[in-house]
């Protein structure tokens, strides 16, 4: 399976993502933001970081970068496009996903482990996944997902919520919401479910010595579904 990780100036989880993809069997290529064409890919990843310094708005300048046209084309033709953290912010800025990611409710950067519950597993990302509550890691300042009522209706009608913040046992409640995201949304699909944006970083949870191993479950499952 071929994957591509896009590097924007200011990306800083690009290497971590590449390490994770390779670990689970992807042949990965790094792609520079100023390139026009994507290499042949089964999966394209927009990694975390502070693309273009997060100036203007998080993800906003990246959504106008040179490579992004090819990325949009790739996704619109059904290619799997995964955006993590800043990547999720870029996906909302390009309007490939609805809504926006606002500043965290308590106006603080948060770096810690959280639990998320998978809401929709009828897709390439979560089909057959062996756990429906995953412990993942967040590290962001702007992860407070927000959208209009109309957008929310559409999101619900199309079953687009990918993962919710929850307790260890899967309760989706306010007290387990780290950033104030509406309906505890931690990750979102497009209607077709080939695009996934997530605030949590599965790539930081790929071995026992790091923050945990549930990221491994995510990547292993993803590549199994693609084979």
Asked if 33 interacts with other proteins (CB under 8 A), we say no
Q: Which is nearer to other proteins, 197 or 202 (CB)?
A: 202
Q: Active-site residue 58, yes or no?
A: no
Asked if 59 interacts with other proteins (CB under 8 A), we say no
Q: Cα(213)–Cα(24) distance, rounded to whole angstroms?
A: 13
Distance of CA 226 to the CA centre of its chain: 18
- Which residue among 1, 2, 12, 191 contacts other proteins (CB under 8 A)? 12
- Which residue among 24, 26, 50, 176 contacts other proteins (CB under 8 A)? 50
C-beta of 210: minimal distance to other proteins in Å? 7
Q: Active-site residue 203, yes or no?
A: yes
- Residue of 10, 78, 8 whose CA lies nearest to 43: 78
Alpha helices in 77-132 (DSSP H): 86-93
Q: In what order do the strands lie in the sheet with 2-7?
A: 27-32, 2-7, 43-46, 80-84, 195-198, 185-189, 161-166, 110-118, 133-140
Catalytic residue among 13, 58, 85, 166: 85
Q: Cα(222)–Cα(225) distance, rounded to whole angstroms?
A: 5
Q: Cα(199)–Cα(138) distance, rounded to whole angstroms?
A: 7
Q: Active-site residue 111, yes or no?
A: no
- Which residue among 5, 6, 13, 100 contacts other proteins (CB under 8 A)? 13
Torsion angle in degrees (nearest 10) through CA of 119, 191, 86, 165: -20
C-beta of 148: minimal distance to other proteins in Å? 30
Give the count of beta carbons closer than 10 Å to the beta carbon of residue 1.
16
Asked if 9 interacts with other proteins (CB under 8 A), we say yes
Asked if 211 interacts with other proteins (CB under 8 A), we say yes
Given the rule CB under 8 A, which of 5-13, 63-71, 91-99, 185-193 is the region that contacts other proteins? 5-13
Q: Annotated catalytic sites, by residue?
A: 85, 201, 203
Give the footprint of other proteins on this chain (CB under 8 A): 9-10, 12-13, 15-16, 19-20, 48-50, 52-55, 106, 108-112, 137, 139, 141, 201, 203-204, 206, 209-211
């Amino acid at each position: 399976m071929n994957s591509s990780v896009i590097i924007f100036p200011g990306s800083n989880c690009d290497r971590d993502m590449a390490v994770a993809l390779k670990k689970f069997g992807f042949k990965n290529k790094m792609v520079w933001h100023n390139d026009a064409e994507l290499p042949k890919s089964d999966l394209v990843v927009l990694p975390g970081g502070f693309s273009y310094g997060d100036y203007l708005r998080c993800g906003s300048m990246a959504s106008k970068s040179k490579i992004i046209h090819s990325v949009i084309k790739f996704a619109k033709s059904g290619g799997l496009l995964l955006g993590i953290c800043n990547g999720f912010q870029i996906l909302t800025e390009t309007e490939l996903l609805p809504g926006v990611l606002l500043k965290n409710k308590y106006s603080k950067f948060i770096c810690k482990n959280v639990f998320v519950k998978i809401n929709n597993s009828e897709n390439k990302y979560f089909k057959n996944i062996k756990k429906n509550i995953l412990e993942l890691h967040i590290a962001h300042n702007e992860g407070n997902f927000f959208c209009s009522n109309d957008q929310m209706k559409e999101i619900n009608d199309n079953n687009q919520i990918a993962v919710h913040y929850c307790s260890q046992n899967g309760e989706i409640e306010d007290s387990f919401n780290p950033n104030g995201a509406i309906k505890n949304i931690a990750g979102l699909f497009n209607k077709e479910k080939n695009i996934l944006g997530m605030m949590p970083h599965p790539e930081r949870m790929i071995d026992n010595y790091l923050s945990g191993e549930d990221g491994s479950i995510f990547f292993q499952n993803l590549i199994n579904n693609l084979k």
